[in-house]
Amino acid sequence: MKHLLLICASLFAATTALAQETYENAHLVTEDLNGTARYVGMGGAMEALGADISVIGTNPAGIGLFRHSTAHVSFGVVSQQDGKSFANGNKTNMSFDQAGFVYSRRSGRNSFVNLAFNYHKSRNFDYILSASDRLRNASQNKLSYVKGLEGVFKLNVDRNGYVMSDDNTYSNTDYLNYNALMSSYNADNEMVYNYYNADRYMLDRAHTGYIGEYDFNISGNVNDRVYWGLTFGISDVHYKAYGEYQEALVNANDQAMGSVLTCDERKITGTGFNVKAGVIFRPVEDSPFRIGFSVATPTWYDLTTNNHTVLNNNSTAGDMDRIGVDHSYDFKLYTPWKFGASMGTTVGDYLAIGASYEYADYAATDSRIITDSSYDWDYDEYWDNASSDNTMNRHTENTLRGVSTVKVGLEMRPDSKMAFRVGYNYVSPMYEEQGFKDVTLNSPGTYVGSATDYTNWKATNRITCGFGYNIDKLSIDLAYQYSVQSGNFKPFLDYYASANDGPELDNISNAVKVDNKRHQVLLTLGYHF
């Protein structure tokens, strides 16, 4: 009989070649609509209008439209409409969103060379996900059982009596289920395996943290007709997630057996860098109408993940009350290229209209395996050598898609001191409707997996508005943003057993609708000098 209480950090074999899974990576590759209150109030549609520090990361040429030095700082409140506080996640959070400056220097009668720096929170992870539903003839441990039965991985028993596998398809979740619930010795002292269906499940998960973007820009204005810009960006990742997944187990007669609770805590930290370039020009010299184009390289991330997962067995199944596993590993992630086009115009001194389009093919996201490290004697540094995780990347190609972002915005100025703004921001779905988390992949990303659930999020719609007021050299801007997104949640992969095993081993769950509705209020203070 196994020990009733065990926290295992080393018995589950680890590998040095580790990567991430598609759905985990997806948290890191997208961006929010955030920046100054003016930028947000216009739905972000300022890439061709320029002269707002937030365009430093979307179309760097927009910084070339500044004719005076300026500094801005932004902060606000973000609230999840239907959220409930869970663990370290709160429904409402204060947020420091932006700080930066532009130094403008005249280089000719109608020409300028500008230098700029800006920090902004490109991704706010604060979100609480809750889902629950009935289950019939299905469970998370049944998925582990069928994987083993049909040879997805090969099992062995080590000298301490723990069920192990050297296959990358044997995940943390499989390890916990097999050892806590599903394995026992028969009368002949042979290890045998069994599974248990569940009557229902409940999940709560709190995501917290952010990605901070530090942008350094040089830009120019050539005769007030052509504007150019180049931005070098550094991304700083701070992501945390804590989840509790619970199933109510039943026996073959549908009688209650108690519950199984899996607690998973994950932390991702690291840095990345990228380069953005852009141009804006006036097709007609005397016209205020402008057209802009931009391109952004991938963000090349070097990341570290720490995750701790514990299974608490409060049922009559198995003979282990508690078992856990820890992982800490480095990996690399390369986001896709981004391309943008924009246009904007002004009408006198009282109206500005902007529209922007951006495209990024998230199916091209590159999850990379660190193969080895090398030492640079000249710079006294260690370098990680990595190669693409081709198996996981093929799954990403089939799960994620190209995403279009459309922005439109309008600013009205009844006088020189006051401004009113409205905007709309649309982001097409990143996930294929039939996408799923494939826990059968022969990938290190599967091996270190500690959660089986996934959500296929649909399109994001954002409605924004704002107000601005100038007092001499001081500007005060307010913005409100309402963002809504729905998705289909699944607790685990739908697995259809082979014909030889029979339909009773099918492991199927219903999709549950979940929502992410967020409110943001943003305040920006600016000073022009």
Q: What is the pLDDT of residues 336-361, one digit of tens each?
A: 999 999 999 999 989 999 999 999 99
Q: Give the confidence band of 373 by pLDDT, cuts at 50, 70, 90.
A: low
What's the 3-state SS for 399-446?
HECEEEEEEEEEEECCCCCEEEEEEEEEECCCECCCCCCCCCCCCHHH
* pLDDT for res 82: 84
DSSP structure string for 494-507: -BPPPTTT-GGG-B
What does the alpha-carbon distance between residue 199 and residue 307 come to, in Å, rounded to a whole number? 28
User: For 432-450, what is the mean pLDDT?
Assistant: 94
Region 15-32: mean pLDDT is 85
The whole-number pLDDT of residue 379 equals 57
Higher local confidence (pLDDT), 231 or 11? 231
Q: Which residue has the higher pLDDT, 8 or 98?
A: 98
Q: How many helices (H) and strands (E) does the chain have?
A: 6, 23
Residue 383 confidence (pLDDT): 63
Q: What was the pLDDT predicted at 319?
A: 84
Residue 237 C-beta-side C-alpha neighbours within 13 Å: 24
Q: How confident is the model at residue 16 (pLDDT cuts 50, 70, 90)?
A: low
* Single-letter code of the amino acid located at 69: S
**High-pLDDT (> 70) share of the chain, %:** 94
Q: Which two tokens stand for residue 441?
A: 């992949």
> Residue 289: its pLDDT value, please?
97
How many other CB atoms sit within 10 Å of the CB of residue 88?
11
Kindly report, residue by residue over 106-142, the tens digit of the pLDDT. 877 777 899 999 999 999 999 999 999 999 999 999 9
How many whole angstroms separate alpha carbon 453 and alpha carbon 403?
23
Q: Please report the pLDDT score of residue 14 as a whole number.
A: 44
- Looking at residue 378, its pLDDT comes to 58
Of residues 451, 445, 453, 274, the one with CA closest to residue 367: 445
What's the pLDDT score for residue 20? 87
Q: How far is CA 209 from CA 55, 122, 269, in A?
A: 23, 11, 10
Q: Phi/psi class of residue 46: alpha, beta or left (left: φ > 0; alpha: ψ in -120 to 50)?
A: alpha
pLDDT digits (tens, 9 = 90+) for 251-276: 988 999 999 999 999 999 999 999 99
Residue type present at position 32: D
Please tell me the predicted confidence (pLDDT) of residue 381: 62
User: What does the domain layout of the chain look like in residue ranges?
Assistant: 22-132+202-528
Cα–Cα distance for residue pair 305/476, rounded to 1 Å: 40
pLDDT at 3 over 50: no
Question: Is the pLDDT score of 179 beyond 90?
Answer: yes
Say yes or no to pLDDT of 15 above 60.
no
Across residues 162-172, what is the average pLDDT? 95
- What pLDDT band is residue 12 in, cutting at 50, 70 and 90? very low
- Over pLDDT 90: what percentage of the chain? 82
Flag whether pLDDT at 10 surpasses 60.
Answer: no
Give the pLDDT of residue 4: 46
pLDDT band at 193 (very low <50, low <70, confident <90, very high): very high
* Residue 493 confidence (pLDDT): 95
The class (CATH top level) of 22-132+202-528 is mainly beta
Q: How many CB atoms lie within 10 A of CB 474?
A: 11
User: What are the C-alpha distances in Å from 117 to residues 12, 48, 72, 363, 499?
Assistant: 46, 19, 11, 31, 62
Check residue 205 and give its pLDDT.
95
Residue 18: is its pLDDT beyond 80?
A: no
pLDDT bin (cut points 50, 70, 90) of residue 17 is: low
Res 284 pLDDT > 50: yes
Q: Tell me the mean pLDDT in the region 394-415.
A: 97
Decide if pLDDT at 13 tops 60.
no
> What span, in angstroms and rounded, lies between the C-alpha atoms of 477 and 526?
8
Short-list 494, 502, 340, CA closest to 406: 340
Burial of 182 (0-12, 13-18, 19+ CB in 10 A): buried
Cβ atoms of 52 and 491 closer than 8 Å: no
Q: What's the rounded Cα separation, in Å, for the pair 437 and 171?
A: 13
Tell me the pLDDT of the chain averaged across its residues.
92
CB neighbours of residue 194 within 10 Å: 13
Question: Is the pLDDT at 377 greater than 70, yes or no?
Answer: no
